Amino acid sequence: MTAFSPEIQVAIARTRDDVARLHEELVRYELVVWTGGNVSGRVPGADLFVIKPSGVSYDDLSPENQILCDLDGNVIPSTPGSDRSPSSDTAAHAYIYRNMPEVGGVVHTHSTYATAWAARGEAVPCVITAMADEFGGEIPVGPFAIIGDDSIGRGVVETLAGHRSRAVLMQNHGVFTIGKNAKDAVKAAVMAEDVAKTVHISRQLGAPLPIAQSAIDSLFDRYQNVYGQEPTGALK
Ligand SMILES: O=C(CO)[C@@H](O)[C@H](O)COP(=O)(O)O
């Protein structure tokens, strides 16, 4: 088994606990069905991340069966969970971690309203203050990409590079989100679905009104740096 320092072993264990528990949040907020979707978390202080095993019921996920990978997406042998195949999107998560060092967590879902926007290849426009707060603008669309290699990860990174958004709608597929940590990425996934639903409904009733860019900037700054008890600032 690979020898990790006691500090890294503790960090790995905490990341396993966090990632396993955060998968429950995807179910709680009704962002996934069956075994769809996934959460990963970077291990602080190491070139490692933890991700769920592929196709395993959310009811059966535990810290012990999460899978430890290096940043190339290779499973670390002889570690808990390494007897199973990692998520289908492991390469995508790994690409994001390699190319966005500020990212500590990645989430993928097929949540209904956000994926409906992705199916049309249409960005969710920033027409509600909740979007300005959370995403600093629209939720952009990334390219259609096949599953299993660097295609999705490259599409996520190239699309988000020019955006304050922590969420991207991968065309015809679903939502990928990033965060300071896995919990922050899960929050982005929850909020992306919420605003996608609201804006969809608004558009059924008429033409939503735009928000001035200066107001979007002000709202984003306040929410990221003032809102709540101990704001830590935007990811980017
Ligand atoms: O989008 C897909 C498959 O089309 C996957 O991302 C699934 O949504 C989750 O796969 P696993 O993480 O269970 O391999």
d(CA 111, CA 30): 8
Contact call for residues 49 and 94 (beta carbons, < 8 A): yes
Distance 36 CA to ligand 1 centre (A): 5
In degrees and rounded to multiples of 5, residue 95 shows phi and psi of: -60, -45
Q: How confident is the model at residue 44 (pLDDT cuts 50, 70, 90)?
A: very high
User: If you compute the radius of gyration of the chain from its CA atoms, what whole number of angstroms results?
Assistant: 17
- What residues does ligand 1 touch, defined as CB less than 6 Å away? 35-38, 52, 54-55, 87-89, 108, 110, 147
pLDDT (0 to 100) of residue 236: 78
Contact call for residues 55 and 89 (beta carbons, < 8 A): no
| pLDDT for residue 1 is more than 70 | no
Mean pLDDT of 174-188: 98
Q: How confident is the model at residue 186 (pLDDT cuts 50, 70, 90)?
A: very high
| pLDDT for residue 178 is more than 90 | yes
d(CA 221, CA 234): 8
pLDDT (0 to 100) of residue 4: 95
- The single residue of 89, 93, 97, 133 carrying the catalytic annotation is 133
pLDDT, the chain, mean: 97
| pLDDT for residue 61 is more than 90 | yes
Strands (E), 160-200: 167-170, 174-179
DSSP single-letter state for residue 75: B
- For this structure, is 149 an active site residue? no
Ligand 1 pocket mutation, candidates 58, 87, 88, criterion most atoms within 8 A of CB = 88
| pLDDT for residue 222 is more than 60 | yes
More confident residue, 97 or 1: 97
**In the chain, what percentage of residues exceed pLDDT 70?**
99
Q: Could you give the ipTM of this predicted complex? A: 0.95
> Could you give the C-alpha distances from 123 to 11, 141, 144, 217, in angstroms and in order?
37, 5, 14, 18
pLDDT (0 to 100) of residue 3: 84
Six token digits for residue 67: 């899978």
- What's the pLDDT tens digit per position in 86-144? 999 999 999 999 999 999 999 999 999 999 999 999 999 999 999 999 999 999 999 99
Distance 108 CA to ligand 1 centre (A): 8
Query: Residue 121, Cβ neighbours under 10 Å: how many?
Result: 14
On the CB side of 225, how many CA atoms lie within 13 Å of its CA? 8
| pLDDT for residue 2 is more than 80 | no
**Do strands 141-142 and 167-170 pair parallel, antiparallel, or not at all (unpaired)?**
parallel
